[in-house]
Every structure is written in structure tokens, then in C-alpha cells.
Amino acid sequence: MQKLKIHGGHPLKGDVRISGAKNAALPILAASLLTADPLVLTNVPQLNDIGTMLKLLAEMGVKSERTTDAASLRADNLTNLVASYDLVKTMRASILVLGPLLARFGEARVSLPGGCAIGARPVDLHIKGLEAMGATITIEAGYIQANAKKLKGARIYMETVTVTGTENLLMAACLAEGTTTLENSACEPEVVDLAECLIKMGANIRGHGTDVITVEGVASLHGASHSIMPDRIETGTFLAAVAAMGTVGGDVRITHAQPRSLDAVIEKLRASGAAIASTEHEIHISMNKRPNAISLRTAPYPAFPTDMQAQFIALDCIASGTSAVTETIFENRFMHVQELVRLGAKIDIEGNTAIVHGMNKLTGTSVMATDLRASACLVIAGLVAEGETIIDRIYHLDRGYDHIEQKLTAIGAKIERIN
């Protein structure tokens, strides 16, 4: 199994180019199921999760062509409307094929995702929403079996803000008969990017980016070209890494980004003491002092993203002062804490809050990645720690970070992949 070896304590300086957003690309790839015409995508990140989604679509009969950062998909001859357990268990976002398949073909059979490392993560709101649109749904032998002659527009209130739930129902509503209103829908920028792509495909959508999305169903969608938005979590991870460098120093220009999707993160980084200036697509960050401890609470967009919580705990570990980091989205998202403690961090967990006591230094040792963002947190800790840190199970990292060690090496990090 591959590992990452990091020699900590080197300043980060130079330029980093941000890739397309994983969490926008996944629903948009699934949206290819809504039309028989080609969907042409650019700025597609090179990630294992993208490979998994393309494989899932290929099993259904979607033809795709992939070049370095582009993909062209065509769902003109589907042979199979099933998303098998083998693929769904490796990537929960596979559930995103449910809405499009049902809306266009009147049938879908998708494996239940099961539990995952960061919590139970049910899909009940996806199912309830599709039922409200007239689908008959049964759960048999671990699979969601969904049928509907023709989905009908409905008023749907989601009791919890769910990103992929909103996306699934949004895609289904595009081909439903009549008007669908999605209330308490997710406002995440990735939902907006999906809606913009669907509009290019001929969908009639209003209110995306707010908590009420209205969709007038159309008879069919057509092909389109779309460039995937920049990854705000990849961007935030590099920003947090530079801020965490403290007195070692960091001075990095982040390009091809979308700073306006990162307001909550940038505000916290400024409070940590980093100097940040941004234009429409670039962010310049510099740091030359020990960071201040940053307390935060995760919540749906536009509040602080749960996908940045672990990286900020890494920063807090070596900050001056004590911080409280509260996780409100997922119930088991502190697995990185035990690994950080192995590097010398001092952290107490009280319910859904991590109390982080900032230390003068971390010391490198062997640690294990437990999920995607926890891996990013350990990379940051390794960059800051004295000596050598070995991170095991980096397949988690490869699911969501495009060429992370090459990008970090280019700005001065001493990091390499070992077998």
C-alpha cells in the first residue's frame, strides 16, 4: 500500500493551480444520464472518485472519452439501470445516479451506500423527495428499487440541509411533469454549478444558491458544454497549509480558484494572522508568525464547511492559545484527532467539540489516514512537524486531491510517495 513521506519544516513558496471541484464534477457527470446527447466537460479533476463515477456510468452503458482534464459523455443507449454495491460502497456519491435514471427511464436500482467512516449518512431524504414526486420505492436486499411512469412536480421540504439530496432531487425535477419546489435546499456552490450546467442542457431552474429552488419540468434535455467550478476545499486546504507554517513561513499564490466561495474560510485564516489578498480567480496568502488559535463551528454553506474542519484542527494544534472546534454535520468526524495526538498534539473531545490546546511544535511519526479530509489534515500536520511523518492509507487522499504531492513539491514541501 502506498504511503506519503513528509519531511516537515520547509517554507511553502510559489504558485499552486487549483483543479476542478470533485463535489461539482460528480453530480454533473451523473447529469449526463438525463440526455441522449453528448455532455462535454472541462476542468475535470484527475481523481479516483471521478474514475469511479465514470466506471459506474460505463456499467450502465454511458460512453465516455477522457483526456487529461476533460471528459465527454453520451448516454444514448443505456443497457443497465443498476448501480451495484461494489461501486457504491467505494463512493457514496454514486447515489447521484438515482434521480436522473428514474426521471429519464422510469426505473432505477441503486445499492444503499451503507455506513461510512464519518457517520451513518442516511439517504432517507433522497427517497422521500422522489416519493413525493410520485415514485414507488422499495428497499430490497440492500438495494433501492425505484419506479415511476412519469415523475410529477411536487413541493418538497427537506428537514436537514443535504447537498447530494438537493442535487438528486434537482436533477429528477428537470424531467418531471410540472413545477417542483425544493425547500431548505443546500446553497453550496457545487449545487449552483450543477444547476448552471442543467440550465445549459435546457432545464428551467430558478433560485439555485438560495434555500428555495424552483424547477419547471421540461420534456427532454439536450447536450451542452460546461467547465467545472474550481475546488474550494482543495483551495482551502492549501490556504490552511500555508497559515499552519507559522514562523517557518509561507508565501503562495493560488490560481484558477474561486475566492468568493471561501468567505468563511478566508475570514478564519485572517483571524489566524495570515495576510490574504484576492482577485476574482486568485488568492495570495502569506504567513510569517505563529498562528492564533481559531475556534469554529461547521454548518451548511455559507457557514464554515465540514470538509475544512480537519485541516483547521491541524492548524490549531500548533497555534498560540486554545480553540474549540464544533462539528455539527457529521457525528463521527474527529478520527484525525487520535492521529494528531500521535504527532504530539493536545486535544480533548467533548461531545461534538474538539478542544485543541496549541503546542509549540509537533513531532513527526507514523500516522494513518482514516478518510479524505482527515488525510489532508495529516499532510498539513506533517508539513509543520519536526522530522519525518509517514502517512499510511493515502488512497483516501487520492479520492479527492488532484496530484497533491506534485503541487506541494512545486511550492517547496519535502514530500514523496513510497510503497
Rounded Cα–Cα distance for residues 369 and 378 (Å): 7
Grid cell listed for 152: 410529477
Residue 307 or 405: which CB sits closer to ligand UD1? 307
The angle at the Cα of 142, spanning 24 to 175, to the nearest 5 degrees, equals 45
Residue 166 or 389: which CB sits closer to ligand UD1? 166
Query: β-strand 322-326 against 63-66: which pairing, if any?
Result: unpaired
Question: Which amino acid would we find at residue 122?
Answer: P
Among 116, 174, 187, 317, the active-site one is: 116
Grid cell listed for 74: 453520451
- Non-local (6+) Cβ contacts of 29 within 8 A are 41, 50, 53, 54, 57, 71, 73
Q: How far is the CB of 108 from ligand UD1 (least distance, A)?
A: 16
Q: How far is the CB of 376 from ligand UD1 (least distance, A)?
A: 12
Question: Directed axis angle between helix 189-200 and helix 22-31, to 10°?
Answer: 30
Residue 125 or 173: which CB sits closer to ligand UD1? 125
Q: How far is the CB of 372 from ligand UD1 (least distance, A)?
A: 8
Residue 94 or 286: which CB sits closer to ligand UD1? 94
- Partners of 13 in the β-ladder: 251
Name the nearest CA neighbour of 11 among 277, 254, 246.
Answer: 246
Residue 74 or 121: which CB sits closer to ligand UD1? 121
Radius of gyration, alpha carbons of the chain: 21
Residue 307 or 339: which CB sits closer to ligand UD1? 307
Residue 95 or 174: which CB sits closer to ligand UD1? 95
Residue 26 or 294: which CB sits closer to ligand UD1? 26
Rounded Cα–Cα distance for residues 38 and 21 (Å): 21
Q: How far is the CB of 144 from ligand UD1 (least distance, A)?
A: 11
Q: How far is the CB of 347 from ligand UD1 (least distance, A)?
A: 21
The angle at the Cα of 309, spanning 259 to 379, to the nearest 5 degrees, equals 90
Q: Check if 187 is active-site.
A: no
Q: How far is the CB of 284 from ligand UD1 (least distance, A)?
A: 26
Q: How far is the CB of 41 from ligand UD1 (least distance, A)?
A: 16
Q: How far is the CB of 238 from ligand UD1 (least distance, A)?
A: 17
The residues that touch ligand UD1, with contacts defined as CB under 6 A, are 23, 26, 92-93, 121-126, 160, 162-165, 190, 306-307, 329-330
For the annotated catalytic residues, the residue numbers are: 116
